[in-house]
Structure 1
Amino acid sequence: MAMENKSKALEFLNIARSTFYYKSLLDEKDEELRMKIEKVLDNNLSYGHKRIAMALSINRKRIKRAMKKFGIKPRRSRKRPWKRGKNDAFESPNLLAALFPLYKNHLWITDFTYLKWRNRWVYVCTIIDLFSREVVGLSIKTNHSAMLVSEALLNALASNSPPTLVHSDQGSEYKSKLFRSILADYKILQSMSKKSSPWQNGYQESFFGNWKLDVGDVNRFATLGELTAEVYRSMYYYNNERIHTSLKMSPREFARRYEMQYNAKQEKLIV
């Protein structure tokens, strides 16, 4: 009886039965996909359709269509980047422009950003390996100074071989005697973007934009210690779990696979 009533309704609405059942099946599949997308976003708040497609191993056009259909968007939105003041005390040429990362610990890039936490500023400086895209150095302070950027560099050097060069913008912190003396001691070349050219350190700018989305509202933390712990947790997540679109895997996994391939080649040369 129910089937008969449904058939009459479809006939009255001038809708073919095949079209009706196809749309019903598609809606059912889309609903299943929606739940999968929501599950990925629960653990990866800033993922767009490309990363979700990689995580689910599903065509990104299908993911994009489903997200549009259900109005699904990344859980956190971007904010405009912060700009630092000018300092003309020292300038180094942009050596990075003529180079391409060929191996791990070849080229490093660095920058720092700020977090507005309970009417205080907290500054986070990172060193990123441009080959593996891994955060290799980190420093957190309540002021931006030569010590902030120098500690991040020393943190990276503590567990990695010195790179050929370190690239930054022209912030006064990177022109300080302390930072430059560390570079000199390790025989590392210094490279700097031109004035008012943030795109020349574009990957670092992009990294902080995505990273802040993942961290979210920092005012949910009651103490500076809790916020600091979240910064370290989020960096671990970025290095070990977050899918990088150009690598199609996490930075740490990419570095691990590269090391395995390199060691295998070295063994063949020895044999």
Structure 2
Amino acid sequence: MVERQDAEYTVTEQCELLGISRSGVYYVPTVSERKIEIMNYMDEIYTDAPTSGQRKIQTELEKTYGIKAGRDLIRTLMRKMGLRAIHPGPRTTVPNATHRKYPYLLRGVKVTHVNQEWSTDITYIRLKHGFVYLTAIIDWYSRRILAWRLSNSLSSDFCVDVLLEAVGKYGWPEVFNTDQGSQYTSEKFTKCFEDEGCTAKLSMDGKGRSLDNVYIERFWRTLKYEDIYLKGYMDMKECFKGIKAFIDRYNDRRRHSSLVLPVFLDKNPVIF
């Protein structure tokens, strides 16, 4: 997907054009085909029932797919996929106890306009012979996907990249909501909200609150059922093209779903 010997564009420039993480170019996941198969089934189980933890996944693997997998293996693969089994459901990031946590600012808030509240998350995307991670930012009012990135690793880099891309297109929101995963509590990510010029407040989900990021979770479900599971992408390049086409169509549907739906255009919302 990225040509390291390209004479016209640097690796960084190619990554920016393709919307993928720079760190992901140099990292290749080393997971056996058998484990990838199990992870793909686990992804289906979780997508269908987001409250599934280790026990539920273990039971469903055997009941639905005839796969007997030990508790330790399931937990290891959940960590690899970025799933954390907490009540009422798993999350796609894992917290770091040494990082600063921010308060949840959206409790009881009525969303009335674009750029009021944004949220972000990470999800596992299966390929024919591997997997990648997808992060995206959604506007709570318009429900449009503002920016997204693919990566081979769960580093904080692609979370920062997608944030800066969205801000570059639409300016800062009033509140930016994440979960308490280590990617979002990292100094590299939180520093973006401390820099001069940032007008957004950083909000973090309450511990164990799967509904705090409900809009992005719904988008993951739609993406996987309507595209990922049906297409079976071979590699990251094919996956990128497919997801881009899907998000373009998804945003277009959001744009035309209401005659008064606000749409982002050159950092200013307009009414259609």
Name the TM-score, length of structure 1 as normaliser: 0.60
Q: Contact 1:167–1:193 (CA<8 Å) still a contact in 2?
A: yes
Identity of aligned residues (%): 24
The partner residue of 1:216 within 198, 216, 228 is 228
Q: What is the DSSP-based 3-state SS (H/G/I as helix, E as strand, rest coil) of the residue aligned with 2:207?
A: coil
| Matching residue of 2:63 | none
- Compute the displacement of 1:124 (Å): 0.7
In structure 2, the residue matched to 1:255 is 262
Deviations 1:132-165 (A, max 9, x none): 1111111111111111211111111111021111
- Equivalenced residue count is 181
Q: Which runs of 5+ in 1 are unaligned?
A: 1-75, 262-271
Say which structure is richer in strand.
Answer: 2
Say what the alpha-carbon RMSD is for the aligned residues: 2.7
In the alignment, residue 122 of structure 1 is paired with which amino acid?
A: V
Q: Residues 18-41 of structure 1: CA distance to partner in whole angstroms, max 9, x if unpaired?
A: xxxxxxxxxxxxxxxxxxxxxxxx
Instruction: For 1:117 and 1:218, locate their aligned partners in 2 and report how far apart those are by CA, in whole Å.
Output: 11
By relative contact order (CA 8 Å, sep 6+), the higher-ranking structure is 2
Task: Indicate the structure (1 or 2) with the bigger Cα radius of gyration.
Answer: 1
What is the TM-score of this pair, normalised by structure 2? Answer: 0.60
C-alpha distance in 2 between matches for 1:222 and 1:207 = 22
Matched letter for residue 94 of structure 2: G
The CA distance in 1 between the partners of 2:183 and 2:153, in whole Å, is 11
Aligned residues of 1:114 and 1:121 also touching (Cα < 8 A): yes
- CA distance in 1 between partners of 2:158 and 2:123 (Å): 11
Partners in 2 of 1:238 and 1:170 — Cα distance? 27
> Relative to total residues, which structure has the larger helix share, 1 or 2?
1
* Cα distance between partner residues in 2 of 1:156 and 1:205: 19
Give unmatched runs, 5+ long, in structure 2.
1-43, 51-82, 84-89
Residue from 193, 202, 210 that aligns with 1:198: 210
Q: Is the 8 A contact 1:121 1:143 kept in 2?
A: no
Which amino acid letter does the alignment assign opposite residue 135 of structure 2? Answer: C
2:167 paired residue number: 157
